[in-house]
Amino acid sequence: MDALDVSRWQFGITTVYHFILVPLTIGLAPLIAVMQTMWVVTKKDHWYRLTKFFGKLFLINFALGVATGIVQEFQFGMNWSEYSRFVGDVFGAPLALEGLVAFFLESTFIGLWIFGWGRLPKLVHLATIWLVAIGVNASAFFIIAANSFMQHPVGAVYNPEKGRAELTSIWTLLTNNTALAAFPHVVAGAFLTAGTFVAGIGGWWMVRNMRKAKETTDTAVAAERESAARTMFRPVTIFALWVMVASGVALAITGDIQGKLMFEQQPMKMASAESLCHTETGAGFSILTVGTHNNCDNITHLITVPGLTSFLAKNDFNATVEGVTEIQARMEAQYGPGNYKPNLFVTYWTFRAMIGWAAGSALLAVVGLWMTRGGRVPDKKWFGWLSILMIPTPFLGNSAGWVFTEMGRQPWVVAPNPTGVDQIRLMVNQGVSDHPTALVWTSLIVFTVLYAALGVVWFWLIRRYAIEGPLPHDAHPPGEGPPEPDDSGTPKQLSFAY
């Protein structure tokens, strides 16, 4: 592999890793804010316990999300310096705005939230978690606006003197239709992830408490266990299940809008997602294929839904959709000789994996809402296991979706906008830094090993805290209100310390 391939692997590995953690943060922050709001409004202690319980899991995740995010801010300059020179005038702005508007907000207020229990007035403390929730979502918007420029460049002109893209309208950049479709799609994915996470853990604890209540002969313990299942875990699970339903619907709608946009803006990506080798009228949607995909024409389509691809592209079952071969020929005519096809195997299967993994959350949502209908509290062991086992599915779906959207953009790093400025386009081999391969191998190995080790610790900590459940010392809120502790006499202990 040369420096280009190693750089691509490195960016892929570090970004996919970062995006395992990010959706949980984006989705879980608002859910915890809702839990804490429920506590402040209803004054019921179990909402406080849930806030603390999921808050701990949130913070374990937040740390690694921040740590892996730092690398991304510098990796453009380190490995993709020619790309950075070409688009810096445009691409740098949303990145800097993300720092100024979002990162400062979330990092400052997360500190206030963690350490502010019992120190800040209740409503001010509640506001801090809401500001964190706004911050994490705002940062998602800016970075998606930046990414959308690479998929569909707008708001910029090409300056031939400097040989770079230059920003002409920040408003156009931030309201790129690609960004406006991608942002809700990503946020919906994040809410589905967090919803499945909360419902999965909540469902598992509901079953576990009900079973323990039946197993024990101590009536007081049994009553306490059953009460935890009924009054604490059932409401939070149902809440999370409805979050899943809502975000699932939003995912489907925004996904459809995004797909239609992509058929217009990046037809090659969509044609290869469907492994549609030749232009067809009334093109079918392929569900299963065999073949290496290396050569477009040696794929055998085994199951195909007639007309569906045409419908997905243009809302018309009989519409004509361009195929990979024809787009390749058109691009050669437009941009000169070259291979403009992404990896067909990866785009085809990640597109199906993205949609397919959503079935995990859908299954849990349907079964969970059925099992808890009309005041029921499930005690079936299989339901506990189903809840736990469905937790990874949205994470896998998120990764597959991003691998699809980024690998589908290949070989471009800035894909040409069919209706935009023709010169604003860059192939990945023109964007990479001119480094010796060994140097990039070094950073690839360092990051991969470090991330793998930290990933193991992260998973172990999350699992450890999830299995431990809400902790006894979080049973009741600390002293209400914020009387400033005076330093005379015995000092008041901090409500939280690292």
Partner 1 sequence: MGLQEFWFIAIAVLFIGYFVLEGFDFGVGMLFPVLGRTDTRRRVLLNTIGPVWDGNEVWLITAGGALFAAFPEWYATLFSGFYLPLLLILVALILRICAIEWRGKIDDPTWRARADLGIMIGSWVPAVLWGVAFANIVRGVGIDENKKVTSSFFELLNPYALLGGATTAIVFALHGAVFLALKTSGEVREDAVKVAARLSIPAVVVAGAFALWTQLAHGKGWTWILVAVAAAALVGVVALTAKAREGWAFALTTVAVIAAVALLFGSLYPYLMPSTTDDAYSLTIYNASSSPYTLKVMTWAAAFMTPVVIIYQGWTYWVFRQRISTAHIPPSIGLPLKSR
Smaller CB distance to partner 1: residue 163 or 418? Answer: 163
Is 494:478 a contact under the CB 8 Å cutoff? Answer: no
Nearest to 61 by CA among 91, 13, 22, 106: 22
In whole angstroms, the minimum distance from the beta carbon of 448 to partner 1 comes to 12
Note whether 154 and 418 are within 8 A (CB): no
Return the residue of 116, 235, 259, 360 that touches partner 1, per CB under 8 A.
116
Is there binding between residue 494 and partner 1 (CB under 8 A)? yes
Residue 475 interacts with partner 1 (CB under 8 A): yes or no: no
Rg over CA atoms, the chain: 25
Distance of CA 400 to the CA centre of its chain: 10
Binding segment toward partner 1, per CB under 8 A, in 57-65, 263-271, 383-391, 421-429: 57-65
Judge residue 374's burial from the number of C-beta atoms within 10 Å of its C-beta, 0-12 exposed, 13-18 middle, 19 or more buried.
exposed
Work out how close the CB of 371 gets to partner 1 at its nearest, in angstroms, rounded to a whole number: 27
- In the bound complex, what is the minimum distance in angstroms from residue 307's beta carbon to partner 1? 46
Which span sits near partner 1 by CB under 8 A: 63-71, 244-252, 346-354, 384-392? Answer: 63-71
CA quadruple 147, 150, 153, 156: dihedral sign: positive
State in Å, rounded, how far the first CA of the chain is from the last one.
44
Scanning residues 327 to 356, which ones bind partner 1 (CB under 8 A)?
none
Nearer to partner 1, 43 or 464 (CB): 464
Alpha-carbon span 223 to 204, nearest angstrom? 18
497 vs 486: CA distance, rounded Å: 18
Between 159 and 227, name the residue whose CB sits nearer to partner 1: 159
Asked if residue 161 binds partner 1 (CB under 8 A), the reply is no
Q: Which of residues 120-139 bind partner 1 (CB under 8 A)?
A: 120
Size of the site for partner 1 (CB under 8 A): 85
Smallest gap from Cβ 158 to partner 1, in A, equals: 12
Give whichever of 37 and 107 is closer to partner 1, judged by the CB atom: 107
Cβ neighbors of 40 (< 8 A, separation 6 or more) are 122, 123, 126
My answer on whether omega of the bond before 411 falls inside 30° of 0, hence cis, is yes
Is the CB of residue 47 less than 8 Å from the CB of residue 38?
Answer: yes
Q: What is the DSSP letter of 307?
A: T
Binds partner 1 (CB under 8 A): choice among 2, 41, 42, 100: 100
One character per residue 297-316, x = contact with partner 1 (rule: CB under 8 A): --------------------
Q: How far apart are CA 149 and CA 87, in angstroms?
A: 9
Is the Cβ–Cβ distance between 308 and 336 less than 8 Å? no
Measured CA angle at 322 (ends 396, 412), to 5 deg:
55
Binding of partner 1 at residue 163 (CB under 8 A)? no
Pick between residue 170 and residue 396 the one whose CB is nearest to partner 1. 170
Segment near partner 1 (CB under 8 A), from 15-23, 110-118, 389-397, 421-429? 110-118
CA angle 357, 363, 368 (to 5 degrees): 140
Could you please report the per-residue DSSP string of 317-340?
Answer: TT-EE--HHHHHHHHHHHH-SS--
CB of 166 to partner 1, least distance (A): 4
Q: Are 299 and 291 within 8 A, CB to CB? A: yes
Judged by CB under 8 A, which stretch of 70-78, 193-201, 209-217, 316-324 contacts partner 1? 70-78
Among 34, 110, 344, 377, binds partner 1 (CB under 8 A): 110
Q: What CA–CA distance (Å, rounded) separates 115 from 122?
A: 13
Site for partner 1 in 174-213 (CB under 8 A): none
Residue number with CB closer to partner 1 (119 or 293): 119
Query: Which residue stretch of 75-83, 290-298, 374-382, 418-426 sits at the interface with partner 1 (rule: CB under 8 A)?
Result: 75-83
Q: How many CB atoms lie within 10 A of CB 359?
A: 12
Site for partner 1 (CB under 8 A): which residue of 1, 5, 41, 77?
Answer: 77
Q: Which stretch binds partner 1 (CB under 8 A): 272-280, 346-354, 361-369, 489-497?
A: 489-497
Residues in 414-473 at the binding interface with partner 1, rule: CB under 8 A: 433-435, 439, 442-443, 446, 450, 454, 457, 461, 464-465, 467-468, 471, 473
89 part of the interface to partner 1, by CB under 8 A: yes
Check residue 86 and give left, alpha or beta (phi > 0: left; psi -120 to 50: alpha).
Answer: alpha
Candidates 37, 81, 177, 231: give the one binding partner 1 (CB under 8 A): 81
Taking the complex as a whole, how short is the minimal distance between the CB of residue 349 and partner 1, in angstroms?
Answer: 31
